[in-house]
Amino acid sequence: MIYRQTADFLEDLLAVTGVREVWVACSGGLDSMVLLELVRAFGQRRGVPVGVLHFNHGLRSAARADEFLVLTQGVRNYGLPLVLGQAHDLRERARSRRLSLETAARQARYAFFGRFLRRRTAVIVTAHHATDQVETMLFNLMRGTGLRGLKGIPRRRGRIGRPLLTLTRACLEAFAAEHGLAFNQDESNFSPLFTRNRIRQELLPLVRKLGGPGVEERMAATGLRLAADLEIVDDRLGELEALVEKCDHGGLRIERARLQACSEALKPHFLGRMLRYVGAVKQVPARVLTELSALVGRPGERREGHYHLGRGLVFGVSPEWVRLFFSASSPTEKTAVDLDFVIAGPGIYQLPGRLGRFSLNYPLPLRSVGGGLSATNPAAFSEQVDGDSLKFPLRLRYRQPGDRFQPLGLQGQSRKLKKFLIDLKLDRAARARLPLLVDRDEQILWVLGLRLDHRCRLRPESRQVVKLEFFPWQQDFDQWERK
């Protein structure tokens, strides 16, 4: 039955994405080793190419043993191709970006997946299962989540799928025992320092006892039904989103009467989306969204008001408009919110905060250096750089104190970024909200729309040309995408 369920999911995933190649994200743990066996069998029966991906986070002493197990089973025993990835200084990255180690590890892992998918026409499957789903739902529920958190882990996102979401950990353990599958145990899964582990060890046994047989499968199925319901909400939000206008310095606004006319149940969803677009924290408490909805009011209400969301971000309501903007009284030498967006490899990226879209494409045939406004789209900024000078992953971020770079045209002379921008007569707010493209060593490559760094310029000896384009949000992106 497990083989059949996995095969049905994979057939649907391949049909939806239009590709015919499956790669298994395999950590060496029980769940992923079971998935590897299931996908290998599927590929063998259906004639579908299968490969293995393994990412070493560099956090555990047993990481090399995991890598060796995946190599042994995937390559030597199954004869599958293997692609390895590795994180560097993950603990330092988590500390510098004020992230939990788990979040930093997940970001690094999915950046690796993203780089792979941009180079290969394939799908990736991960080993998240029904017990993981229940843990996620309980974790989010305790934090006071809405539909987005309560639905748990999505079954599919783009070309990444999760075939095991309807199967419990106990079911996978039984399968591994029956087929004699080897796997490694991650000792961090037992640490009481992580809330998710305590849910697994203390809360889940109680849920199983009170809910009876099949409770995990029922709860996981609820998450999938909620995800389907959320698609209806997102379709309606897309209609409202078309009415949003961009204001100066990254702010947004929408006509108050339009927002008042939508249902009370929809307002918090839409306001949460506005906050994410403008660059606010990833999750806003439901209580705050309820208070913002009340400030918008019902049709005909004209009461004005402001809600300070922190870090200079203000939600303001006037008789005509609902606005999100950055207060001029907030510290000007720091950005009001953080931008930390990973450019893992070639592709088109929609940026947060309604900044616009960014694209990176290569290899291109060598030609003379081009830059400034795009020749094909006058509303976009385009540059060509030396592909060999790029150290991935790249990131988009805002200016930080002490930033320096070598502006193209100054023959490699280094300048403080702050002084460079002041000389261009940019005001403080504009300087704080200007996106920068940096490499993994934090070297500035491009002050978007203004100047490249001397070190990534095209040279006579350049072997590979990479095209960078920045499409500001004001464009009609739907028209651009159809080109």
**pLDDT for 73-90, tens place per residue?**
999 999 999 999 988 888
Are 98 and 136 in the same domain? Answer: yes
Q: Which of 172, 203, 231 is the last residue of a domain?
A: 231
Q: Check whether residue 132 and residue 260 sit in a common domain.
A: no
The reply to whether 49 and 100 lie within a common domain is: yes
Determine, yes or no, domain membership for 298. yes
Residue 285 lies in a domain: yes
Q: Please, what is the average pLDDT of the chain?
A: 84
- Number of domains within the chain: 3
- Specify if 382 maps to a domain: yes
Domain with residue 68: its CATH number is 3.40.50.620
Single-letter amino acid, residue 379: A
66 and 162 housed in the same domain: yes
**Domain at 271, CATH number:** 3.30.465.60
Q: Considering the domain boundaries, does residue 225 fall inside one?
A: yes
Question: Residue 423's pLDDT is what?
Answer: 84
Q: Is residue 369 part of a domain?
A: yes
160-216, pLDDT tens digit by residue? 999 999 999 999 999 999 999 999 987 767 777 678 888 988 999 999 999 999 999
Half-sphere exposure of 2 (CA within 13 A, CB side): 22
Residues 317 and 380 in one domain: no
Q: 379 pLDDT exceeds 60?
A: no
The interaxial angle of helices 204-211 and 130-142, nearest 10 deg, is: 110
Q: Do residues 108 and 220 both lie within one domain?
A: yes
How many alpha carbons lie under 13 Å from residue 452 in its C-beta half-sphere?
25
Shared domain check, 167 and 264: no
- In this structure, are 260 and 389 located in the same domain? no
Determine the pLDDT at residue 373: 38
Q: pLDDT value at position 361?
A: 83
Q: Are residues 311 and 349 in the same domain?
A: no
Q: Kindly state whether residue 331 falls inside one of the protein's structural domains.
A: no
The DSSP bridge partners found for residue 397 are 340, 436
What is the rounded CA–CA span in Å between residue 421 and residue 447? 10
- Asked if 387 and 346 touch (Cβ cutoff 8 Å), the reply is no
Q: Is residue 333 part of a domain?
A: no
425 C-beta neighbours (distance < 10 Å), count? 7
* 404 phi-psi bin (left φ>0, alpha ψ -120 to 50, beta other): beta
Of residues 65 and 38, more confidently modeled:
38
User: Which of 169, 199, 231 is the last residue in one of the domains?
Assistant: 231
Regarding whether 475 and 396 lie in a shared domain, the answer is yes
What is the span of the domain harbouring residue 152?
2-231
C-alpha atoms less than 13 angstroms from C-alpha of 7 in its C-beta half-sphere:
13
- 95 and 156 part of one domain: yes
CA 171 from chain centre, in angstroms, equals 30
Of 268, 308, 262, the C-alpha closest to 287 is 268
445 near 457, Cβ under 8 Å? no
Say whether both 226 and 247 belong to one domain. Answer: no
pLDDT band at 378 (very low <50, low <70, confident <90, very high): very low
Task: Summarize pLDDT for 230-243 with one digit per residue, the tens.
Answer: 888 888 888 888 88
- Structural domain includes residue 238: no
Which one of 276, 298, 326 terminates a domain?
A: 326
Whether the CB-CB separation of 314 and 326 falls below 8 Å is answered with yes
Confidence of residue 12 (pLDDT cuts 50, 70, 90): very high
